[in-house]
Amino acid sequence: MTDQESETPKLNFDRLAGLYRWMEWLSFGPYLDRCRRAFLPELADARRALVLGDGDGRFTAALLKRNAAVCVDAIDVSEAMLESLKFRAGAGAVRVRTQARDVRVWTPREEAEYDLIVTHFFLDCLTADDVRRLAERLRANLQPGVRWVISEFAIPHNAFGRWVARPVVSFLYWAFRVLTGLQVERLPDWQSALQAAGFQRATERRFLRGLLTSQLWVLPQSPNQDLATGVRL
């Protein structure tokens, strides 16, 4: 453990590792999983994926199954979650390297050459500043064309957002604070953080009336490239 890590507030997701999928199913049924898999077919050509905070590894297992060539680096603060991830990967586990690290104080290896980053329901465990620092650190080691797939909760700007989504998200933060010690209390503005680091949103799919969003972001060839048209502005 680095000095920085020993000073960072401790998180304990270990105790959720065995329960997590059941808690998810009881609260949101199949929707979180649909959200995670929204862009899975588009990822068949990925070769080196960095998967941050994948928890018990259901997305990693699905990616390995769908894409027989991809190798995955999976980083998670919870050893127990990473054990579940390796178990769930089955025969694909030979293509997975895990690291139990706190992403807030972790730096990617310079030679990693990722072409895909995945964060499903993970950026909401970070503050906006944490996400900004993470996006900048990743950006420094990535080549143009890299894709970043993200699933998150969202609060739509309408009555459903006010009366349903906001209380649901507040309840989830309360539950995670009690269960894991998570200090974050609100959804970070991760979209601005990604934009500031030079990423552009390519496409989005929403679920449950906008409570869940799945987005595909790309690091364009040139900062002025318009992803919709491919034109350099």
Residues that bind ligand SAM (CB under 6 A): 11, 13, 36, 53-55, 76-78, 81, 102-104, 120-122, 125
Question: How many residues are given for the chain?
Answer: 233
Q: How far is CA 70 from CA 64, 113, 164, in A?
A: 7, 12, 39
55 CA to centre of own chain: 10
Nearer to ligand SAM, 53 or 188 (CB): 53
Contacts of 218 (CB under 8 A, 6+ apart): 145, 146, 147, 148, 199, 200, 202, 227
CB of 221: closest distance to ligand SAM in angstroms?
29
Nearer to ligand SAM, 134 or 197 (CB): 134
- Tokens representing 191? 């979209």
- Tokens representing 177? 């604070």
Q: Tokens 């199949």: give the residue.
A: 30
Nearer to ligand SAM, 67 or 78 (CB): 78
Nearer to ligand SAM, 11 or 227 (CB): 11
DSSP state of 8: S
CB of 222: closest distance to ligand SAM in angstroms?
31
How many C-beta atoms lie closer than 10 Å to residue 9's C-beta?
A: 9
CB of 66: closest distance to ligand SAM in angstroms?
16
CB of 109: closest distance to ligand SAM in angstroms?
16
Nearer to ligand SAM, 17 or 93 (CB): 17
Q: Euclidean distance between the first and final Cα of the chain, in Å?
A: 45
CB of 146: closest distance to ligand SAM in angstroms?
19
Nearer to ligand SAM, 49 or 76 (CB): 76
Residue 105 backbone dihedrals phi, psi, to 5 degrees:
-125, 30
Q: Tokens 């989830």: give the residue.
A: 172
Contacts of 221 (CB under 8 A, 6+ apart): 144, 145, 232
CB of 225: closest distance to ligand SAM in angstroms?
29
